[in-house]
Amino acid sequence: MKLGNKTAVELVADLRAHRISAKELLEETIQHAEHVAQAYNPFSIKLYERARKAAAHADELLAEGLGGPLCGLPITIKDSQWLEGVSCSNGSRTQQDFVPHATSAAVQRLEDAGAVIFAKTTCPEFCLTGTTSSQLYGTTSNPWNTERTCGGSSGGAGAAVAAGAGTLSLGGDGGGSIRIPAAFCGIVGFKPSFKAVPREPCFPSWSTIVSYGPMARTVADARLMYSVVAANNEDKAYLDDLSAHALHPLALAGQKIIISEDLGFAPIDDDVRLTFRGIVRKLEEAGAEIVYDHPHLPSSVIAWATSAHYDSWSFQKKKESPLKGLEKGTLDTLHFGASLTEDEFNAAEDHREVIHTAYTAMFERNASSFFMTPALGIEAFKHTRRYPKYVGSTKITNPWLDWVSFLYDANLTGMPACVIPMGLGDENLPLSVQIAAPVGSDASVLDIAEQLENIIGWDNSPKDSLNEKLTEQPPK
């Protein structure tokens, strides 16, 4: 059986029906992954032998009618996520020797569900930027155009899934790090509500804004992964909500959805704006009630950058040689964090409540629980792009600036947010839309995202560019 464009849901069904074995599926995945690795460089570490043992065990379970919901399915996880006994550099040469003594809770749940982890995916040093390049692993490219960024920091995951090297990947999102690469690579990226998915044990930095979540080619696949990692023996609220929605999904017809093209301040290219308006028309045709509004707040970039990078420096400065051996971009970011005072950090943290209150008021005055915007205002840009260093009069030598305007608030408030493709822009690269909702509305967000996905009818495989690239240089 050839993988083709099969989804995770379909492959799990094939495994259960014994139409393919876990070992056969893994070997097909590895063969394709080798092509993808040469073309786009999305993998930090290949775990093929470890995966082969896991696949063999999965076949034993499947033969007995046992195994979890992901039994035998090849997947990837992010380089920053802990897997006991496997190197975890977090994209940095300074951490090449770090081997975790334990596995992150979400990753453990994936393996407990039978998932076969065959590789870890690339990220920038310490996951600090919205693109994926490091001195340790090089640059990861976008499968739609290798001259363009795949986004970041879960960029390797975005490129791998878009190119068909595994149907699922676990990403991490502290400032758009799932949603940026999902948007640029034309796949689905879901940032769950804060704490809906347990992370620890993990690196302590950005502990109040990061969520682990699925990156996939369909919303149904994202829901499948989320149903595994969100399971919690002590508090099953998110899982129970997901199960209830599986039986009675929200209807799009009659649903009121709040719409904003630009949040009142976000830069947005004309092709993004026009494509987004087309999606809004499709929603109206499907019977949704559209209301135009937004939280009436300025850009959250300063609040986000202050909270995130003061925290980054607070963690990094505890090391014996905190700046030794780091890349220039990382140093710039840490220097910015070091320049901040505790009062500035506290003010930024206090402002998070202002943002949360504004979103609560927006949902309440419109009697709606859904807010839809473009995901990003631009298509994937070239690897050589130079970032601006100012936001207004404030100097920030950090590339996560106004082009990520639509994404920060979900991290600062903890809201769930799902990004799905909405079409192609003027440069024939993916454009995406974001659906967000109040904290705890994860299942509802996935419901609306899946129905919107069906309306759009997106073909999420960059087949032409991928096939052309993969036939140029076959793996050695």
Q: What is the CATH number of the domain that holds 291?
A: 3.90.1300.10
Q: Count the alpha carbons within 13 Å of 78 in the hemisphere toward its beta carbon.
A: 33
Other CB atoms within 10 Å distance of the CB of residue 455: 16
Does residue 213 belong to any structural domain of this protein? yes
Residue 360 lies in a domain: yes
pLDDT over 90 at 19, yes or no: yes
pLDDT in tens, 80-109: 999 999 999 999 999 999 999 999 999 999
1 found inside a domain: no
Cβ-based neighbour number of residue 335 at 10 Å: 14
Alpha-carbon distance of 41 to 120, in angstroms, equals: 11
Provide the 3-class DSSP secondary structure of residue 101.
Answer: coil
Decide: 90 and 126 in contact? Cβ < 8 Å: yes
Catalytic residue among 78, 120, 191, 469: 78
pLDDT, residue 403, reads 87
Q: How far, in Å, CA of 190 to CA of 170, rounded?
A: 10
Task: Find tokens 């202002």 and name the residue.
Answer: 354
pLDDT tens for residues 145-161?
Answer: 999 999 999 999 999 99
Task: Name the least confident of 16-25, 210-219, 265-274, 465-474.
Answer: 465-474
Cα 473 to the center of its chain, rounded Å: 29
* Residue 379 maps to a domain: yes
Kindly state whether residue 3 falls inside one of the protein's structural domains.
no
> d(Cα 28, Cα 24) in Å, to the nearest integer?
6
**Average model confidence (pLDDT) for the chain?**
91
Instruction: Please confirm, yes or no, whether 177 is among the known catalytic residues.
Output: yes
| pLDDT classification of 468: cutoffs 50, 70, 90 | low
Average pLDDT on 122-126 reads: 97
Q: How far apart are CA 271 and CA 266, in angstroms?
A: 15
pLDDT tens for 445-454 read 999 999 999 9
Residue 2 belongs to a domain: no
Closest to 111 measured CA to CA, from 257, 276, 229, 250: 229
Q: What is the pLDDT of residue 388?
A: 44
Check whether the bond before 153 is cis (ω within 30° of 0). Answer: yes
Catalytic: 153?
A: yes
Q: Catalytic residue among 134, 177, 211, 432, which?
A: 177
Q: What is the pLDDT of residue 236?
A: 60
For 290-320, the DSSP string reads EEE--------HHHHHHHHHHHHHHHHTTSS
Active-site position among 133, 134, 153, 441: 153
Per-residue pLDDT tens over the stretch 299-315: 999 999 999 999 999 99
- pTM flag (> 0.85): yes
Q: Is residue 307 part of a domain?
A: yes
Residue 78 falls in the annotated catalytic set? yes
| Amino acid, res. 316 | Q
Contacts of 11 (CB under 8 A, 6+ apart): 3, 20, 25, 73, 167
Domain count for the chain: 1
pLDDT band at 381 (very low <50, low <70, confident <90, very high): very high
Ranges 37-41, 79-83, 318-322, 374-378: which has the least confidence: 318-322
Domain span at residue 194? 8-472
Cα–Cα distance, 286 to 85 (Å, whole number):
50
Give the DSSP per-residue string, 176-203: STTHHHHHHHTSEEEEPPTTSS---SS-
Token code pair at residue 189: 């990226």
- The reply to whether 382 falls in a domain is yes
pLDDT tens profile 227-272: 999 966 455 666 667 767 766 778 899 999 999 999 999 989 999 9
Pinpoint the alpha helices (H) of 340-437.
Answer: 342-365, 408-413
Contact at 8 Å (CB) between 400 and 409? no
